[in-house]
Structure 1
Amino acid sequence: MSQDQWTAIDDYFSRTLVRSDAALDSTLRSSAEAGLPPINVAPNQGKLLHLLARLKNAKRILEIGTLGGYSTIWLARALPSDGHLISLEANADYADLARKNIAAAGLAHQVTVIVGAAVSSLQRLVDEKIEPFDFVFIDADKENNPEYLRLSLLLSRAGTVIIGDNVVRQGRVGDAHNTDPDVIGVRRYFELANADPRLDTTAVQTVGAKGWDGFSISVVSA
């Protein structure tokens, strides 16, 4: 199998199962025009996040890594009318664009984008004793994944679902000798998840438009 074949199948799934959407299409277009890295989730992956949040009946969602707001929109659309999503983004320019895209999607009243290093932003949310989240999507720099998990747990409750994206790293995560900081961050994330009695975790490999990758899913117990 080749990358071209993987991409073609993702394109088929997206054409067949993901309805054309002006707000999401505009978000991808504006992100590309602004020079943002093309690392947003694929359309079929965005819909998967949306469905998982709906299955959870999530009323409060935390996203770590906003980029141009593409996955943010998918997740926010899963919320009930009185639900809220907080998204954390380190790059102020990305955050500004994301806010515009979120507003164009009619979701500005349900989404707050916070600018700053995610570890610091998460700690502030902990210090403020903010209401726990029902669903967490971690999709930022992988080097800090262990801290993202630790702090996300402090912002969770029994039943909270935590999704970690890009955890396969083109297969490098399985190489114990790989010293890439992102690979080490993902491996440490898994070690912490496995060691924490509050978490029940698995991970799945995927292939598609984003290459060979995968995601983890954890459920927080009491």
Structure 2
Amino acid sequence: MTMSRRRFVAGAAGTGGSLALAGCLGVLTGEKALRFEANAAVVPPSVRESAGYEEYRTTEPEVTREFTVAGQTREVTVKNVMAQYDRGVELPVVGRARAAVFTVLSTPQVKVLGKTFNPVKDMSTDEIAEMVQQRYERVENVRRADSRSVAILDTETTAVRYTGDATLAGGGASVEVYLTVTEPVADDDDFVLCFAGYPRALDERETVTSLVNGVQHRP
């Protein structure tokens, strides 16, 4: 059984940005509807204030799908949590814009018949980067630049940085950006990953690392 990975885990749309992921849940049997909810993963105030970032908003997008296997239909609802942060930066021609952004996504590990399923776990950072749209009208020409090791919740993982051309929301101005996407880590019953975007004119790499390292996962 296959299902488009872009449909299963959905981020908030609009000016807040979006992340759409999806995948295969495997064989589901039984009659009771299944519901899985993630606990929030956040950047604590002390960490974000030190980095100059402010809380933008937290959303809890839900996705419900029906799966039919061997004549049986199961309804599965997944609630994700997206904590979003940003800071204002000065850009040539454009002026000041909140174009440096950072998001933490927590998405539940879907456990069925003793197995854990979630498309985030099996997606590459390349696939996630293609779907990231963080406070930009659109991002084009995304290309891998480099990678490094970071720690999320004391677990080592990889952060991959990409270059791209972004159109700022509202103003229509174009700016060269870096996008950083981490590979997800498992914590309790969730997967947690981070992604960030900022103009290439900024030296924001270490700041993004400090935000990633400071993430906390609420029980």
Normalised by the size of structure 1, how large is the TM-score? 0.27
**Which structure carries more relative contact order (alpha carbon 8 Å, separation 6+)?**
2
Structure 2 length as normaliser, TM-score?
A: 0.27
Q: Compare CA radii of gyration and give the structure with the larger one.
A: 2
- Higher share of residues assigned strand: 2
